[in-house]
Amino acid sequence: MRSEAFHERNRSAPHSQDRETYADLFPGVPDGLPQVWPASDREPRQIPTTGEPHWQQERGGRPC
């Protein structure tokens, strides 16, 4: 992933929980940054609608 905001947030999470351990590893990273979810580069998965619950469609109509 090339999203700097994503990586900075992931450095912020452990830093927020244990500053003494992570302060040297992640200097200058602020605490408590919000979650960042980059957009997916995958095509949305299309599930055919047959009237059955989607989990049964994915398993060939067999109940879980």
* Helices (H), ranges, the chain: 4-17, 19-22, 54-58
Report the first-to-last Cα separation within the chain, whole angstroms: 34
Residue 14 pLDDT level (bands cut at 50, 70, 90)? confident
pTM above 0.75, yes or no: no
Q: Are 7 and 37 in contact (CB under 8 A)?
A: no
Residue 16 has pLDDT above 60, yes or no: yes
Element (H, E) at 53: none
Burial class (CB in 10 A: 0-12, 13-18, 19+), 15: buried
Residues, the chain, total?
64
Tens digits of residue pLDDT in 25-64: 888 888 888 888 878 888 887 766 666 666 655 555 455 5
